[in-house]
Amino acid sequence: RTDADWWRDAVFYQVYIRSFADGSGDGVGDLAGIRARLPHLVDLGVDALWITPFYPSPMADHGYDVADPRDVEPVFGDLAEFDALLAEAHAAGIRVTVDLVPNHTSDRHAWFAEALASPPGSAARARYLFRDGRGPDGSQAPNNWPSVFGGPAWSRVPDGQWYLHLFAPEQPDLDFTDPEVLADLETTMRFWLDRGVDGFRIDVAHGMAKPEGLPDMQPMEDTGLLDDHGPGDLRFDQPGVHDVHRRVRAVLDAHPGTMAVGEVWVSDDDRLADYLRPDELQLAFNFKLLTADWTVDGLRDAVVHSLATVAGVPAPACWVLSNHDRPRHVTRYGGGELGTRRARAAALLQLALPGAAYVYNGDELGMPDVDLPDEVLQDPIWERSGHTERGRDACRVPVPWSGTEPSYGFSSQRDTWLPMPGGWGPLTARAQAADPSSMLSLYRAALALRASSPAFSGESLEWLPAPEGCLAFRRPGGLVCLLNPSPEAVPLPEGRVLLASDDVAGGTLPADAAVWLQA
Ligand code: TEU
């Protein structure tokens, strides 16, 4: 690859800004916190950051409700702080990508205020999806679509019209057939590109087009989190979305070396490939690995399907184990020591696969989900699902850095925006840095090898015969990865051991472990 294609095999680190590091001492993570923790990211060895939204926001969805996409939320800092972070990250050899949230704005965005103050049929309303209701008095929503967060996807305004929101009512959907909407997205992209960012993560990248006439869809059972995105889900993955991606790509192409990764939830792989055509997204998360269970079939299918998805397009695969929307993989794999052992093995799987990889902040420490009491839950899903879904707070608890509770060096103050549990001393970055057998040491060693060893060269993968219950593959450069998700130890294959998630001194690979060999 060339320098302009740096993202093809990059390791990205997702900074969920509220939870990464608090520089200002208010219990909420911020840009100054990221700046202060750059040495951790350099020692870890990541190539690039994805920073989740830090734009002015009333925080109905923790920043994914953007009131002004071209400024900084005071809780997180200001533009000067962002510029300083960008310069320092670049000086340290780390690229910076930021979130774009094109599908919707906050209900406090100036456009939405203008829409509310303007009559039905006005140009201000045309930027959003305002419609008259059904029934004699228009008191029924314009269609039957559910919101992803629970309840109907429509809310009514005082003059009787309804507006569409696929997520919370505080996140009205924009209408991308309005030329001003698309032009504004381009302006936002140029604003950050001109400041020097290296790319974007595009939120709900499958959502920006809605079907003509907004027809009813097959009813989905109203059980809280309605993000099925299967065939027949008319809210997402409509053909017009690709026109938006072509416009986005044109802006990126005018800034060589920049990229976009899409958050694209679709029902099958062929549909994901459409987003990765040469004039659309450079990368799209392969969520198969994020949702796979700890079974040999589940993991193999995730890899096979993800590679098949990108077989006919210029994009490499893009692997994710955890993010801020889903249970952390330590917990998904069973939690406790077992979950941690499996997470160590999963890290070696993820980082051995060809393509790009995203590490979610805290993955490198083996953070689990946290069982939070009802009264501290903040995710809108909790309220909107009528308390049937606990939402995503469990995977968003602040990162423990050093020392002891209550806030383990995350903040100078005791009270963090979500409480941190007791007993996390051994989980802190400082404790793990001093322990060669820690998760952090494993990640550092893995990333160092990945960056320096020719064994990782080549974007393809050859499946090798493997012991019962195991997966094995070889990269063109000679890296062999053997993953053993089975309950039995298996013999090690030929080759020089580069790194192992567990003790392989006896010539066997234990259960729930993985090894890298040079063969
Ligand atoms: O998530 C979009 C998405 O498709 C959700 O359905 C996701 O599956 C859900 O959060 C449940 O796991 C993105 C962001 O990643 C998320 O944090 C935002 O809340 C959402 O968009 C709205 O902007």
Residues 350 and 429 in one domain: yes
Whether residue 99 has its Cβ less than 6 Å from ligand 1: no
CA 49 to ligand 1 center in whole angstroms: 19
Q: Is the CB of 64 under 6 A from ligand 1?
A: yes
Question: Does 174 fall in a domain?
Answer: no
Q: Do 96 and 114 sit in the same domain of this protein?
A: no
280 touches ligand 1 (CB under 6 Å): no
Q: Please tell me if the CB atom of residue 379 comes closer than 6 angstroms to any atom of ligand 1.
A: no
Cα of 325 from ligand 1 centre, angstroms: 6
One domain, residues 484 and 400: no
Nearest CA, atom 12, ligand 1: 325
Which of 443, 468, 489 is the last residue before a domain boundary? Answer: 443
Identify whether 170 is part of a domain: no
CB of 287 closer than 6 angstroms to any ligand 1 atom: no
237 lines ligand 1 (CB under 6 A): no
User: Positive or negative CA dihedral for 219, 221, 224, 226?
Assistant: negative
Both 209 and 242 in one domain: the answer is yes
- The CATH number of whichever domain residue 123 belongs to comes to 3.90.400.10
239, 140, 118, 259: which is closest to 189 by C-alpha? Answer: 259
- Going by C-alpha positions, the residue among 152, 224, 148 that lies closest to residue 386 is 224
Q: Identity (one letter) of the amino acid at 509?
A: L
Structural contact between residues 390 and 382, judged by C-beta atoms closer than 8 angstroms: yes
C-alpha 267 – ligand 1 centre gap (Å): 16
Q: Residue 338: how many CB atoms within 10 A of its CB?
A: 14
Q: Which of 203, 237, 324 to mutate to test the pocket of ligand 1 (most atoms within 8 A of CB)?
A: 203
**CA–centroid distance, residue 342 to ligand 1 (Å):** 26
Ligand 1 contact, 167 CB (< 6 A):
yes
Contact 272, 285 (CB under 8 A): no
468 is catalytic: no
Sign of the Cα pseudo-torsion (413, 416, 419, 420, in order): negative
Counting from 1 in the atom list of ligand 1, the atom nearest the Cα of 325 is 12
385 C-alpha vs ligand 1 centroid, how far in Å?
A: 15
Overall size of the chain counted in residues: 519
Domain membership flag for residue 307: yes
Per the CB < 8 A criterion, the answer to whether 318 and 489 are in contact is: no
C-alpha distances in Å from residue 494, one per residue of 202, 210, 446: 43, 54, 20
> Where do we find the tokens 């670049």?
90
Residues 251 and 330 in one domain: yes
330 and 229 within one domain: yes
Residue 233, ligand 1, Cβ within 6 A? no
Statement to judge: residues 347 and 221 lie in one domain: yes
- Residues 310, 422, single domain; the answer is yes
DSSP string, 119-169: -TT-HHHHTBTEE--BSTTS-B-SS-PBPTTSSBSEEE-TTS-EEE-SS-T
Show which of 422, 443, 464 is a domain's final residue: 443
Mean pLDDT by 10 residues, the chain (519 residues): 90 98 98 98 98 98 98 98 98 98 98 98 98 97 94 96 98 98 98 98 98 90 56 90 98 98 89 96 96 95 96 97 98 97 98 98 98 97 92 98 95 97 97 98 98 96 97 97 97 96 96 97
Active-site residue (options: 203, 369, 393, 512): 203
Q: Does residue 448 belong to any structural domain of this protein?
A: no
pLDDT at 267: 76
Residue nearest to atom 9 of ligand 1 (CA): 325
Task: Check pocket membership of 326 for ligand 1, CB cut-off 6 A.
Answer: yes
**What is the Å distance from ligand 1's center to 426 Cα?**
31
Taking the centre of ligand 1 as the mean of its atom positions, its distance from the CA of residue 490, in whole angstroms, is 39
Q: Are 185 and 417 spatial neighbours (Cβ–Cβ below 8 Å)? A: no
- 204 CA to middle of ligand 1, Å? 7
- Among residues 263, 274, 364, 502, which one is catalytic? 263
Please report the ipTM that was assigned to this predicted complex: 0.95
> What CATH number does the domain containing 497 carry?
2.60.40.1180
Judging by beta carbons within 10 Å of its beta carbon (0-12, 13-18, 19+), is residue 375 exposed, middle or buried? Answer: exposed
Q: Determine which residue's CA is closest to atom 8 belonging to ligand 1.
A: 227
Q: Does residue 172 fall inside a structural domain?
A: no
Q: Is residue 100 in contact with ligand 1, taking CB distance under 6 Å?
A: no
| pLDDT, position 232 | 81
- Report pLDDT digits (tens) over 193-236: 999 999 999 999 999 999 999 999 987 664 444 566 677 889 99
422 CA distance to ligand 1 middle (Å): 29
451 domain residue, yes or no: no
Q: For position 218, what pLDDT does the model report?
A: 83
Find the domain containing 92 and state its range.
Answer: 3-103+179-443
Whether 146 and 276 share a structural domain = no
Is the whole model's pTM more than 0.90, yes or no?
A: yes
394 lines ligand 1 (CB under 6 A): no
Considering the domain architecture, whether residues 293 and 199 belong to the same structural domain is answered as yes
Residue 152 forms part of a structural domain: yes
304 Cβ contact list (under 8 Å, min separation 6):
none
- Of ligand 1's listed atoms, the one at least distance from the Cα of 265 is 4
Instruction: Check whether the bond before 169 is cis (ω within 30° of 0).
Output: no
Number of structural domains (the chain) is: 3
Is 263 designated active site? yes
Residue nearest to atom 23 of ligand 1 (CA): 64
- What is the C-alpha separation between 417 and 186, in angstroms, rounded? 33
Distance CA 364, CA 494 (A): 29
Task: Check which CATH number belongs to the domain holding 272 and give it.
Answer: 3.20.20.80
- Contact status, residue 356 vs residue 283, Cβ threshold 8 Å: yes
> Do both 233 and 284 map to the same domain?
yes
Residue with the nearest Cα to atom 20 of ligand 1?
64
Task: Establish whether residue 204 lines the binding site of ligand 1, counting it when its CB lies within 6 angstroms of any ligand atom.
Answer: yes
65 Cα nearest atom in ligand 1: 23
Residue 173, domain member (yes or no): no
CA dihedral 413, 417, 423, 426 (to 10 degrees): -80
Q: Are residues 285 and 368 in the same domain?
A: yes
154 within ligand 1 shell (Cβ under 6 A): no
Out of 122, 137, 164, a domain closes at 164
